[in-house]
Structure 1
Amino acid sequence: MLLVIKNGDDKYLSTGIAPVPSKSPELYLCARLSPKRIQTAAGHVHFRVTSQTNVPHGAKKGDQGKPLRGFFSAKEEFSDARDSTDRLENPVITSSVHAPPMAGPMWSQRLPVLLLLLCGALLDGSALPASSSYEFTAFRMQQFNMGQHKHEDDSVTASLCSGVQRMTVCVQGAEDDCLSVFRVQRMTGAEDDRLSVFRVQRMTVSLCSGCRGAAVVAEARSPDDPALTRKCVVMRASDFTAGNVREARRQNAAAILVLLPQNMYNVTPEDIQTFSQTEAELLQKETLTPVYVTQEDEQLLFMVSEIQRTAASRTSSIFFRVFRSFVTATAFQILVSNTTPIKALTDTTVVALEGVLRGSGEDPPTIVVTAHFDSYGLAPWRSFGADSNGSGVALLLELIRLFHKLYSSPRTTPQFNLMFALTGGGKYNFLGTKRWIEENLDHAESSLLHDSAAFVLCLDTLGTGDQLFAHVSKPPRPDTPMGSFLDVLNEVISSRFPSLTLSLVHKKINLVESSVSWEHERLSLRRVPAFTLSRLDDPKSQSRGSILDTLAHMDLRKLKRNGVIIAEALGRFMFNLSHTGSPKDVQLFTGHMDLQESRLSSLMTALSSVPRAAQLLEQDPAQALLLDSLEQEFRHFLQHVQRYSFRMDRREPEITFFDQMKQQVVMYRVKPAAFDLFLGGCIAVYLGLVYSAVQNAGWLYCRLKAAVKTKSQ
């Protein structure tokens, strides 16, 4: 049973978890709860009883507006207490309790109740009893290993110089990774000499990232508290900074619990940037400190206020701190019981979708538009990826709908094939794109990507911003299809949106490193012309992977603007309209062909309501349903739709995820050990007084009798 006390201004006062008796519930409510201030009968004290089984005496559905027993003017709501959102949004019963006049015997019966309330207010007690507990769901920081091959050297010939003699070296034991024996023949003689040399090592480096720990049994503390050793540090979104996290790890904190706000619209851009930077720093390395993420609610916010008050009282006098520790201080114990060891998930599946709109003519060239659909963040179950890369997926789906209308009529079908692809594993070195390319270039007998690809356009993070960046691995020549399309793209932007700028960003691919920064680099490695269009100029931007990347900070108007730019540029390029007028005068996608902001909003809502982390593909039914919906969208508008499911090699997986990403956390409210000592001392003094009174009952009786006799005389 969850009890919430609110004042007349609908502000939170206190909460409690306790069973409510079936009889005299108003007596229980008044006696059990202790609000911070008590109002008169003319005022209002609102209380919410959340339960569907234990309801106050006489309450039933349909009693809205009818008077119930009680002496406060109150608002009573009965709802399911299993979920905080349902508790606030789905009331079951709403009734009003009007204050009857307090007179006669009723006042004498309720006087003890008022005295109890006054005592509770003076002690500033909480509605949550010391022995109660509160259970909630938290999401563990992700953990993964990325396998990378380093220092691969398979050369079979070399030249050695020893003084003035030149020797030819040939590999004889090339299969030995540690030691190879070479046959050396001097150029000046016929004799053969043997010597042993060591080849450059070949190894697989596994990059471990994330959190390895899961079990937590620790007391909750505020990040402002000076003593954090073996404590669970509770941080709100504004407290989750790199400095606080480093300090908690330096003091060997037992765990870190991050509370996300319920309303993301209230989070400032500065807090989002700080949070994202801390997120990226945590995910770069492996840590033993368990990190959990959950959404704040009234109980957790009350815990935060209490531990902040405790941390602030450490600066007060020693007498006040000792007294508060003995009598009024309350500790919160955080428990994550985890008896099952964390297991590796080596059979991860990466999904890719592709579909085609066939152009007119024989063997027309193909333009490919791709986007990766997965999300990334501190906790997989809280990674919704609205901007990165839900915006790219939404634009790709809207482009499919628009160009389907053009290709549905032979009169408006351009002489280009248009292929669309959605790939998974984009946040993990674009593994889905890599496998999709291998499937089209190496395994398929014939594919449009292999036979006639003009260029590939990759969409990434386009949900807001006033700048666009075209990322390339090699600057295209003007006479190439990709160079011509970039010119058309720049022409559309300068003509229709002069306040927007398009910049070309050239970044060479480092062949020594096996990781790539953008999706087009996977294609450039296979010599397929490609570039990425994004609002970000830096591939290491924290905006590409944060659990605060939600729909609350998206700008649908700018998303539609970017979609119009891409659609108009593709249409003008395929129909060769560069010399027929400016893009402002000649527009292809207007009227019934215009991009629909309502559809973009619906797509973004659907995409950002499901965590699309790669490791949840086979664990979350909602994500499997989302993939099925994307496939149905492809089949509705495109031809030759294929769905690829790529499984990692069990022996040498390219990426390894780990389970137990969702845990049940129990918060216990307990008194410190000093309180037990204080309580024991009080009981001992009380028992001593009672024992002394019993032992000296005769002496006390004689003294009292003598005093009464003297007074009567």
Structure 2
Amino acid sequence: GWLSGLKVDGDTNQLPTIAIVASYDTFGAAPALSVGSDSNGSGVVALLEIARLFSLLYSNPKTRGRYNLLFGLTSGGPYNYNGTQKWLRSFDQRLRESIDYAICLNSIGSWDNELWIHVSKPPENAYIKQIFEGFSNVAEELDIKVGLKHKKINISNPRVAWEHEQFSRLRVTAATLSEISTAPELLQGTGGLFDSRQFVNETAITRGVKLVAESLANLVPIGRECVDCGPMTSVSGLYQSNANLLDIRGKGPALVGWNWGNVWEHVWKRHIYGHQGKNVQIFADGGSLAVNPAYIQSWLDLLSQTPRVAPFLSKNDPFVMALKKELADHTDEVNMQHEVLEGVFTFYDSTSARLNIYQVASVTFDLLLLLVLGSYLIVLFSFLVITTRGLDDLISLFRRPPSRKVKTA
């Protein structure tokens, strides 16, 4: 799904792009039971809600950012993010080069109070510092802990642990937001039998959505000075008013004489909205742009009832069509790409079968039946011997025979 940013009159440069990506498919020993509520149903739900929120902002030219937003739902996640790799390679080179950075969402539905940002580039990288500081500032206001994990990728090894590594292989800055602190092994944490709805907390997803949405809009360090803005020391922030318009709130000298063109250029540069200052939330609770828990719950319930093992999904699978329709409702343009899954796995087309279980009598019943039958046979045998040969013959059967003494000369 694609949301187009707003170009300033006379600007001939291509707008930069931010990508928000999540893998939607699962893997498990029982494909028909692999619903993956947390991995990665929670990431899909978060992406859809973020798309809904920014579609509201981008629907008004006055609140449309100078960033294109690209929302990607990919398959092949359990298999080295094969779908993400093919999706990126299908991009036009200009589009790929326009991506400033990508945020991948993975398993954010069962965390307590700490999330991790996984990156491939060194933490000293300017883009990585910008992303982490932006998330950290918002996380502090939301009382959330955010940690940074750096894992260098091996280009010669086709195995990737995180979705952002496919971006990094093509020299696109990217990071993965996840509740998982360590890189998973192959086919680990891919939405198996035990990843069900009861272990996912929609409140955690709601907080994660707000963290990502606010961070995308608020990635300017506090107190950064505006060059050539006139008699002004700094821009304190942008905030969402009741009329859903972004205003500039300044501190310091009066507003008279400001060079508004330079001010606007400053606050938009390299960010969607780029407001400064704490306690300024675009997606504040109770407002028209607040995160919708009911929307999150409804999609989470659907994902928790829908197996999504990619090799068994058809091109026109109802679930895939539902995702496409939802993105089409919140973005300007939606494209679907079908690819053949490549890998070392062989999949068979039987995803479900009937297992018949029969309940039989317990072993106590068998022992009791053995005792009854044994007693019956003993009584019957004794009766027949007594009636045919007499009681003495029956008793003699149980007597010890007399010993024979051998006489020696």
TM-score, normalisation: structure 1: 0.42
Question: 1:62-73, aligned counterparts within 5 Å?
Answer: none
Cα pair distance change 1:646/1:543, threshold 3 Å: closer
Which secondary structure does the structure 2 equivalent of 1:488 belong to?
helix
Give the corresponding residue for 1:626.
Answer: 319
| Paired AA for residue 110 in structure 2 | T
- Asked if 2 retains the 8 angstrom alpha-carbon contact of 1:373 and 1:423, the reply is yes
Question: 1:433-472, aligned counterparts within 5 Å?
Answer: 433-440=84-91, 444=92, 448=95, 450-465=96-111, 466-472=113-119
Question: 1:45-124, aligned counterparts within 5 Å?
Answer: none
Larger RCO (CA within 8 A; separation ≥ 6): 2
Q: Distance in 1 between matches of 2:301 and 2:180?
A: 22
Residue 657 (1) aligns with residue 355 (2) = no
Instruction: Structure 1: state its 5+ residue gaps.
Output: 1-354, 697-713
Q: Distance in 2 between matches of 1:478 and 1:668?
A: 63
- Asked if 2 retains the 8 angstrom alpha-carbon contact of 1:648 and 1:655, the reply is no
Residue 415 (1) aligns with residue 66 (2) = yes
Give the corresponding residue for 1:367.
Answer: 18
Which secondary structure does the structure 2 equivalent of 1:643 belong to?
coil
Please tell me the root mean square deviation across aligned C-alpha atoms, in Å. 2.9
Q: Distance in 1 between matches of 2:383 and 2:32?
A: 59
- Asked if 2 retains the 8 angstrom alpha-carbon contact of 1:375 and 1:389, the reply is yes
| Paired AA for residue 35 in structure 2 | F
Give the aligned length.
Answer: 325
> 1:211-258: per-residue Cα shift (whole Å, max 9, x none)?
xxxxxxxxxxxxxxxxxxxxxxxxxxxxxxxxxxxxxxxxxxxxxxxx
| Paired AA for residue 577 in structure 1 | G
Q: Distance in 2 between matches of 1:533 and 1:572?
A: 17
Cα pair distance change 1:447/1:382, threshold 3 Å: farther
Q: Distance in 2 between matches of 1:686 and 1:437?
A: 85
Which secondary structure does the structure 1 equivalent of 2:274 belong to?
coil
Match of 2:274 among 558, 577, 582: 577
Residue 551 (1) aligns with residue 247 (2) = no
How many percent of aligned residue pairs carry the same amino acid? 32
| Paired AA for residue 625 in structure 1 | P
- Asked if 2 retains the 8 angstrom alpha-carbon contact of 1:376 and 1:547, the reply is no
User: Shift in Å at residue 511 of structure 1?
Assistant: 3.0
- Asked if 2 retains the 8 angstrom alpha-carbon contact of 1:380 and 1:615, the reply is no
User: Shift in Å at residue 694 of structure 1?
Assistant: 8.1
TM-score, normalisation: structure 2: 0.71
Cα pair distance change 1:461/1:648, threshold 3 Å: closer
Q: Distance in 1 between matches of 2:283 and 2:121?
A: 31
Give the corresponding residue for 2:331.
Answer: 638
Question: 1:22-61, aligned counterparts within 5 Å?
Answer: none
User: Shift in Å at residue 411 of structure 1?
Assistant: 1.2
- Asked if 2 retains the 8 angstrom alpha-carbon contact of 1:488 and 1:578, the reply is no
- Asked if 2 retains the 8 angstrom alpha-carbon contact of 1:385 and 1:546, the reply is yes
User: Shift in Å at residue 605 of structure 1?
Assistant: 0.9
- Asked if 2 retains the 8 angstrom alpha-carbon contact of 1:406 and 1:413, the reply is yes
Q: Distance in 2 between matches of 1:628 and 1:447?
A: 29
Match of 1:521 among 140, 165, 183: 165
Residue 487 (1) aligns with residue 133 (2) = yes
Q: Distance in 1 between matches of 2:125 and 2:75?
A: 32
Match of 2:57 among 389, 394, 406: 406
- Asked if 1 retains the 8 angstrom alpha-carbon contact of 2:35 and 2:191, the reply is no
- Asked if 1 retains the 8 angstrom alpha-carbon contact of 2:38 and 2:191, the reply is no
Q: Distance in 1 between matches of 2:360 and 2:292?
A: 55
Q: Distance in 2 between matches of 1:375 and 1:408?
A: 33
Cα pair distance change 1:550/1:447, threshold 3 Å: farther
Q: Distance in 1 between matches of 2:157 and 2:372?
A: 64
- Asked if 2 retains the 8 angstrom alpha-carbon contact of 1:469 and 1:534, the reply is yes
| Paired AA for residue 644 in structure 1 | Q
Residue 540 (1) aligns with residue 184 (2) = yes
Q: Distance in 1 between matches of 2:384 and 2:198?
A: 67
Q: Distance in 2 between matches of 1:686 and 1:434?
A: 81
Question: 1:609-620, aligned counterparts within 5 Å?
Answer: 609-618=305-314
User: Shift in Å at residue 608 of structure 1?
Assistant: 1.0
Match of 2:294 among 587, 593, 598: 598
Question: 1:205-244, aligned counterparts within 5 Å?
Answer: none
Match of 2:282 among 588, 592, 597: 588
- Asked if 1 retains the 8 angstrom alpha-carbon contact of 2:80 and 2:161, the reply is yes
Match of 2:81 among 417, 430, 450: 430
> 1:385-441: per-residue Cα shift (whole Å, max 9, x none)?
11211111111000111111111111111111000000111112111111212222x
User: Shift in Å at residue 478 of structure 1?
Assistant: 5.8
Q: Distance in 2 between matches of 1:399 and 1:429?
A: 25
- Structure (1/2) with the larger strand percentage: 1
Q: Distance in 1 between matches of 2:149 and 2:35?
A: 28
- Asked if 1 retains the 8 angstrom alpha-carbon contact of 2:33 and 2:192, the reply is no
Which secondary structure does the structure 2 equivalent of 1:455 belong to?
strand
| Paired AA for residue 327 in structure 2 | F
